Chain A
């Protein structure tokens, strides 16, 4: 079993090196994980997935009267720059008072991100621009621009996002697990959509890498809340049904994003991967998928954090390599329930297909089944999916 950095993975799976993993070697990344974890490729794959479903006439791809997907609209409107520059300008002009967020495709920890609300601020990326220095569209300098969610749900007046850990042991058939102990990351500064504060990253970006340099950063709690705190707060102030619906939707969008990339993923049997999903909830309690991280930070900012990350690694390895034995990549990747630790089964395609695929849509469209809806068959209350 080996934990490899993203760079090493590139080398291991590169055609040129001719390196082959043997049966008892297991690695913690899929070779082309970037299909999910690069911001531009993730969006591309989801858009492709949606179009395919639409072509098939799948009810999942149903749209409302404004042309918005009913069930698959979970990524903010996004364009690649400079490739889609003209498309973007067209969209921008439809609502000129909107704010957009520019993110470099290949960076992390909030690096290089900025907000714009005027076309002049991104003149550089215009394809027709005579002053453009983007002659080669090298992937290093590619950006995505997304509609900024300027109405995030605020708690205590502050913006936050959710970091959830999802373990994928195989893409085909899809088998994924959700870590129960996700957390919310709060900004240290009060949120304001005011245009005068668009440059203040402490207001807008929740990355701990950024917030910890703020004046008010606290090293005891690190600006983090557990997901169960969030749940308690939302149930107490908004009610149980809308809270359950929110969490159901979050699970849904994670599974859909994985399904979207499953066909293009190199489902190498030596691989498993633990992703860090970043999700923002807006003030209508709608969750948005912001991005997926292939190498979520495993460093800790507080004592609680260290315990959480330790358990995360421990539980991940217990599922990927059960019984602490020498791994054999040919095993069926179905770990016994006892080793799940703080993970819960999020989606198991084999199990789901056993139940009949049309249950999926019936449940999805059904009224407030809630997380306990699918309980009839087995194990108590912890079934995450009400739809299969």
Chain B
């Protein structure tokens, strides 16, 4: 497998002054930052010279150009190989396999997001489900919680259930660790901080649901970029953290440092991974821990290249394959008008749908990510959205028109869409 390095996309800084990637902050500035720690949103630095390092569409271009020179396709040109954008032959599940994998989403099993709607009396499912959830929490059974949450989490129990599944318990040492990171932020200024400010200002600050939490996002992300424990996830991440060299020692490994300290360069929309969590956790160190764990378990796979079934490459291929196999007419039509479906759905998947769905629906979706320990549901949902709007999409004649049909997902109900696509469509 040929793997490319997504960090080749790093924009070169505009001028020499910006080569100082790390600065110690003068004491006066430290005091000032400490004072306004809780309201960083109101006084950001001049960001006019910054732009995001890369956006999802740049990343997509890299993925489209992935090839495996070792792979022998055989002489026959398969119909499938040439229709979608992804040209890497990874193994993805088909619908029968998905039905088995996501069996708890089936029509005969109760779901939150469907069976708790206003027309359904709570005695039928919801009350009992809540009772079981409380029992799972009382027994602090992480594995049971993961199984339980496949049917969705009641809003009041979600924060605790996620913490249980992610094995987060706020111990004094965790709080202390967060405070140390905060001190690190106060004492040193990183170039990447400006990227974070820019990203929050461009995305979360303008979002109907998340603008309220702008200040929490700065706190979490500034600390995150300095957290070297995040480097640990590179043991199972096929990407490698970018390196910087002490001045004058370029290429000498003993003088290499990871930059940023956590090895993760934020891209445009990165802050949207954190934003939905603010609805669940309002204590900064807990919010931080939950986000960090979600990142090193799941989110990193959405912007690094690997062959993992939950990696973004597999998700793209899964999406395209589902569409090609089960909605061939739609797929063919969109391709003909220059609207390759992946070009539209890619940004949804990279962000795990954050900022595209209504928050309550997003949380129901992320429940299932935790429950199944897999991101494949993102690809299935993307395909289900196309299936849902197929009639309108068949009538469009341009990429722009297709984008318009799929521009607003905020009214979608996630679970019925998934259920219909997986279990109620004739295949």
Taking beta carbons and an 8 Å cutoff, which residues of A are in contact with B? 155-158, 186, 189-190, 215-216, 218, 220-221, 223, 225, 228-229, 232-233, 235-237, 239-240, 304, 372, 380-382
Contact = CB atoms under 8 A, between A and B. Distances in A.
A288 to B, nearest CB: 21
B118 A381 contact: yes
B206 A220 contact: yes
Given A190-B42, A218-B205, A218-B206, A158 B158 contact: no
Contact of B156 (A158, A215, A225, A240): A240
Given A156-B278, A189-B42, A235 B213 contact: no
Contact of B41 (A216, A223, A225, A380): A216
B246 interface: no
A225 B212 contact: yes
Contacts of A380: 118-119
B134 to A, nearest CB: 11
A381 B215 CA distance: 37
Nearest to B156: A240
B280 interface: yes
A157 B282 CA distance: 10
What class of interface size applies to chain B in its complex with A? 20 to 34
Nearest to A237: B282
A213 to B, nearest CB: 15
B386 interface: no
Given A156-B216, A229-B209, 5 more contacts: A156-B212, A215-B42, A216-B41, A233-B279, A235-B155
30 contacts: A156-B212, A156-B213, A157-B39, A157-B215, A189-B39, A190-B38, A190-B39, A190-B215, A216-B41, A216-B42, A218-B205, A223-B211, A225-B208, A228-B360, A229-B209, A229-B359, A232-B155, A232-B359, A235-B155, A236-B156, A236-B158, A236-B280, A236-B363, A237-B159, A237-B279, A240-B155, A240-B156, A380-B118, A380-B119, A382-B118
Contacts of B216: 156
Nearest to B216: A156
Contacts of B206: 218, 220-221
A190 B216 CA distance: 12
B255 to A, nearest CB: 42
B212 A158 contact: yes
A218 B211 CA distance: 9
Interface string B249-290: 000000000000000000000000000001111100000000
Contacts of A157: 38-39, 215
Nearest to B360: A232
A156 B214 contact: yes
Contact of A156 (B118, B159, B215, B359): B215
Nearest to A219: B206
B384 to A, nearest CB: 23
Contacts of B211: 218, 221, 223
A318 to B, nearest CB: 21
Contacts of B359: 229, 232
Nearest to B217: A156
A155 B278 CA distance: 10
B104 interface: no
Interface core residue of B119, B205, B212, B278 (most chain A CB under 10 Å):
B212
A235 B157 CA distance: 9
Contacts of B41: 216
Contacts of B189: none
